[in-house]
Amino acid sequence: MAILGGTEVAAAVAEASLTNWKRRNDPGRKLPPTLARLRVLMETETFSICNVGPWAHQLERGALTCFVPPYDAKDDREKLGYAKSAPMPVIRREAKILDESEFTFYEDDGRMVANDLIGVGPNMAKANSFLKFGVFVPAGAEPTAEEIAAARKALADYTDELIAEARNAFDSGNPVLRQQTIGPRHLWAAQRRGIDERWVHHDHAEESIRCEMCGKFNPAGIAKCACGTIINVELYKKLQSQQERILEDLTAPHPKSGK
């Protein structure tokens, strides 16, 4: 390890003092000028992240954030068939510290950045992206009919996945699994498909009884399975007895009133 002499120490101290003085008195690091042609390109050539799904998304990557609104046909006055984020530039520029007195720019393709925001790109699993929610980055300034159709297809596939997931959780008979799995999105999927099955209305925390005949699970407090098998004998006898009494009261002859 080298030992500094008096002169070297004095020089190091002076350099540190000068650096600190610059930091205190300089107005800040300077940004290099942006070429006029590049500035026009960034302002005029833009695109948006589009969404055909009913859910809003707040996308983030470092300091970059982007809000993608949900699509609602009732609010689609222009009949676009999709909602879209605020415009994004085709060239993304971010300032990067170069030295004590100056910044430089880091430039990236705007669409690559947008796709990264929705989870599409190298080393990213497509199944974990926002594509299944109906979110996508168009190749042009506005999406084509084919791109919109592909996004709707992805959303439709996800809708079917939600329904299958809810059915499996319900048929498991596990109240904890039902409660943890079946949520608002599953109910949305059922409404979207016009499904009116038991899991749509069932209290998913409720205890269930498995039918030994057909294998389906039924909520506690049910006497007969949908297949017709009696699954709660005591309750069935009680209900049968109540029904018989009601029928006797209805069919029993009433005494005639005296004149």
Give the whole-angstrom CA distance, residue 245 versus residue 259.
30
Listed residue (47, 66, 48, 42) closest to 56, CA to CA: 66
Provide the strand spans (E) within 57-161: 57-61, 64-68, 83-84, 88-89, 91-97, 103-109, 135-136
pLDDT per residue, tens digit, the chain (259 aa), is 455 455 565 666 666 665 665 556 555 666 556 666 666 666 678 999 999 999 999 999 887 899 999 999 999 999 999 999 999 988 777 666 666 666 666 667 889 999 999 999 998 998 899 999 999 999 999 999 999 999 999 999 999 999 999 999 999 988 889 989 999 999 999 999 999 888 988 765 455 666 777 766 666 678 888 788 888 888 888 888 888 888 777 776 766 655 4
Q: Do residues 51 and 82 lie in contact, with contact meaning Cβ atoms separated by under 8 Å?
A: yes
**Which pLDDT score, from 0 to 100, does residue 6 have?**
55
8 Å CB contact between 71 and 51: yes
The pTM of this model reads 0.62
CA separation for the pair 24, 83 (Å, rounded): 47
Q: What does the chain come to in residues?
A: 259
Cα→Cα distances 31→38, 46, 59, 97, Å:
15, 23, 27, 9
Residue 217 pairs with which residues in a beta bridge? 210
The residue assigned the tokens 């709707």 is: 152
Token representation of residue 156: 């439709």
Q: What phi and psi values does residue 255 have, to the nearest 5 degrees?
A: -65, 140
CB 39 within 8 A of CB 105: no
Give the model's pLDDT for residue 1: 45
Give domain limits for the chain: 30-143, 144-206, 207-249
**What whole-number distance in Å separates Cα of residue 87 and Cα of residue 84?**
8
In the block, which residue shows the tokens 């042009």? 140
Q: Which of 156, 131, 154, 144 is nearest to 80 (CA)?
A: 144
- Dihedral angle sign, alpha carbons of residues 25, 29, 32, 33: negative
Find the angle CA(133)-CA(93)-CA(116) to the nearest 5 degrees. 25
Give dist(CA 229, CA 212) in Å, integer: 8
Residue 108's DSSP bridge partners are: 92
